[in-house]
Amino acid sequence: MKKILAFAGSNSSTSINNKLVKFVASEITEHNVRTIELIDYELPMYSEDEEKNNGFPGILMALNQQISDVDALLISVNEHNGSLGAFFKNMIDWLSRLNRNFLEGKKVLLMSTSPGKRGGASALEFAKTVFPRFGAEIVDSFSFPSFYDNFSEESNKVTDETLSLGLKEVVSTFAHQI
């Protein structure tokens, strides 16, 4: 049984990426999955001056340790204006300054969702390009379009059958490859 850390790159209390991550994490039963919310690891905006004057925040060290302690990551990235949200980008900036290869040896399932038909595809593509720079092995990725049309929060399930089958296949591939 492998250890997986699951989180969304959002700091919104109503994040649909958090909802997607929690749903997918609950579908992985053959491994030990721990879900966290990154808002609990709020960091100042990264700058060289901030790092020089104040060093690395303790909360950053705690997050880095959690990543270090697992075999794989399940991450859903949110999209703002065609890119990663500033909150998550800031997390990556801090983590990469603490340890350039903070994702070394980690297998990653990347996902994204949005209310629109593209499902955060631009942010997902950006993450797929950037994460390997820090050592990640992207096992698979999944863009979940039109979240509110395709997911029932009341019954906690994917309502579109084709989308449901596609997501199950990606999750199964990830679970078997780690």
Both tokens assigned to 135: 């050592």
Compute how many other C-beta atoms are within 10 angstroms of the C-beta atom of residue 177: 12
Dihedral sign from CA coordinates of 122, 152, 75, 138: negative
Tens of pLDDT, residue by residue over 19-64, are 999 999 999 999 999 999 999 998 999 999 999 999 999 999 999 9
Q: pLDDT over 70 for what percent of the chain?
A: 100
Question: From CA 100, how far away is CA 84, in angstroms rounded?
Answer: 19
Which residues make beta-bridge pairs with 80? 83
In the chain the domains, ranked by start, together with CATH numbers, are 3-177 (3.40.50.360)
Please report the pLDDT score of residue 143 as a whole number. 97
What pLDDT is stored for residue 105 in this prediction? 96
Alpha helices in 42-153 (DSSP H): 48-54, 58-68, 86-98, 121-130, 147-150
Tokens of 77: 């990235």
What percent of the chain has pLDDT above 90? 98
User: What's the pLDDT score for residue 140?
Assistant: 97
The predicted pLDDT at position 59 comes to 97
Model pTM? 0.95
pLDDT at 87: 96
Average of per-residue pLDDT values in the chain: 96
- 75-133 per-position pLDDT tens digit: 999 999 889 999 999 999 999 999 999 999 999 999 999 999 999 999 999 999 999 99
User: What's residue 116's pLDDT?
Assistant: 94
Burial class (CB in 10 A: 0-12, 13-18, 19+), 18: buried
| Residue corresponding to tokens 């020089």 | 52
Residue range 157-167: average pLDDT? 97
CA distance linking residue 168 with residue 172, whole number of Å: 6
Closest by Cα among 73, 74, 92, 94 to 84: 92
Residue pair 139/168 in contact (Cβ under 8 Å)? The answer is no
Mean pLDDT of 66-71: 98
If pLDDT is split at 50, 70 and 90, which confidence band does 151 have?
Answer: very high
* Tokens (6 digits) for 163: 């989308």
Say if CB 25 and CB 37 are below 8 A apart. no
